[in-house]
Amino acid sequence: MIVMEKAPAKINLSLDVLHKRDDGYHDVEMVMTTIDLSDRIELQQLPKDEIQVALESRYVPSDERNLAYQAAKLFKNTYQIPYGVRIHIEKNIPVSAGLAGGSTDAAAVLRGLNRLFHVNAPLKDLATLGSNLGADVAFCVYGKTAIAKGFGDQIELLPSPPNCWVITARPDIGVSTRTIFERINLQNLHHPDTKKVLEALQQRDFYQICMSLGNALEDITFAIHPEVFRIKNAMLQAGADGAIMSGSGPTVFGLVQHFSKAQRIYNSMRGFCEDVQLVRILG
Ligand code: ATP
């Protein structure tokens, strides 16, 4: 039997860093939603107790360093599954892009194995399990739209944004989340107004959502990679209703309500940087 799982990318409508904990992690507050840019995960049961990962990517290892592998190992150990699994990943989400590509693969493996081996664990349990693998995995287990607190492990679901179009644009560089977090100086951060984002979502007010987008990590990434700043400006100049960097970057996304305008901005951004996509919000 083969089980297929869609593994969609996330974008941050807001990202705030509150303080540094004694264990070295930062407490964050992130409002995230899911977009229709997805990896495709195929899971197949193997008779022997082993984990195989198959993917074609220059940037992602297929051994135990792969988050999908780690998710399978954790799931098998937790639920005492005596069989093996082959994981095939069709990688469409750019790597180290601020779109949680690795976390969403891990989350999809947890959901998929839950079905493949008829474990029927609730999503809440899978999210708790996933938070051992990385800060965004718990959110990705649910997908949808949510606020993540703590180090990303505490999830509260939110109403999804009204229908709109998302243009993602990124330069051909990867940004290490760890490098950006290491440079945080809590005194200098521009904190987003998370309350405003939450209110805008509750009211399903597209323009208020656009007005309240905010990311406390932007200044740090902009200082290291000024091209990300230029992409954000280009997105706004091209007419996006709102634009912001996702995660620790380098992907910038723009929100647009009407398709014809979204297409114009997509074409305009394609003349400006390497990788541009026009997708819908799934949230
Ligand atoms: P986030 O937005 O959660 O910070 P990101 O989009 O910036 O994540 P990822 O694409 O998840 O970054 O990749 C970060 C690192 O994780 C890379 O070094 C990559 O090699 C590693 N990695 C491990 N497994 C995977 C996977 N299945 N897909 C992508 N990257 C993976």
Supply the CATH number for residue 39's domain: 3.30.230.10
Q: Are residues 139 and 178 in the same domain?
A: no
- Residue at a domain's end among 116, 133, 157: 157
- Index of the ligand 1 atom closest to the CA of residue 105: 27
Supply the CATH number for residue 196's domain: 3.30.70.890
Residue 64: the pLDDT is 97
Q: Which domain holds residue 220?
A: 165-280
Q: Are residues 153 and 169 in the same domain?
A: no
Residue 124: the pLDDT is 97
Q: Are residues 11 and 132 in the same domain?
A: yes
State the complex-level ipTM: 0.94
Give the residue ranges of the chain where pLDDT is below 50.
Answer: none
pLDDT in tens, 46-95: 999 999 999 988 899 999 999 999 999 999 999 999 999 999 999 999 99
Please indicate whether residue 144 is annotated as part of the active site: no
Residue 272: the pLDDT is 85
Measuring from each residue's beta carbon to the nearest atom of ligand 1, which residues come in under 6 Å?
A: 59-60, 65-68, 95-103, 105, 136, 177, 247-248
How far is it, in rounded angstroms, from Cα 215 to Cα 236? 16
Residue 283: the pLDDT is 81
Q: Which of 16, 105, 136, 153 is catalytic?
A: 136
Distance 199 CA to ligand 1 centre (A): 31
Residue 249: the pLDDT is 95
Residue 95: the pLDDT is 94
Q: Are residues 123 and 43 in the same domain?
A: yes
Contact 62, 44 (CB under 8 A): no
- Residue at a domain's end among 157, 192, 211: 157
Q: Are residues 153 and 181 in the same domain?
A: no
Please indicate whether residue 10 is annotated as part of the active site: yes
Residue 23: the pLDDT is 86
State the total domains in the chain. Answer: 2
Q: Are residues 145 and 172 in the same domain?
A: no
Contact 161, 118 (CB under 8 A): no
- Residue at a domain's end among 132, 157, 182: 157
pTM (two decimals): 0.96
Residue 24: the pLDDT is 84
